[in-house]
Amino acid sequence: MKEGIHPSYVEAKVICACGETFTTRSTRQNIKVDICSKCHPFFTGKQKIVDAEGRVEKFKRKYAKK
């Protein structure tokens, strides 16, 4: 590989919205996520609505009129 063209690959701390933290390796020092394997509905079996940019409310408003 060529020298000096690759970013530094360091140990990163991942912080989930639920409070779970773990470490991995990345080009960034800190990573913040909304869902991790501890709180994801696929792994927990519980339904959790993740509202990114108000999409759930927009859907409810659109179809509540009918």
| CATH number of the domain where residue 34 is located | 4.10.80.400
Residue 3 resides in a domain: no
Residue 4 resides in a domain: no
pLDDT of the chain, 66 residues: tens digit per residue? 688 888 888 999 999 888 889 999 999 999 998 888 788 776 677 766 666 667 777 888 888 866
Whole-angstrom Cα distance, residue 18 to residue 32? 11
How many residues comprise the chain?
66
DSSP state of 37: T
Percent of the chain with pLDDT over 70: 79
Confidence (pLDDT) at 58: 80
Residue 1 resides in a domain: no
Whole-angstrom Cα distance, residue 52 to residue 61? 16
Token pair 């000096």 in the structure block, residue: 4
Sign of the C-alpha dihedral computed for residues 7, 9, 11 and 16 taken in this order: positive
Confidence (pLDDT) at 57: 78
pTM of this prediction? 0.56
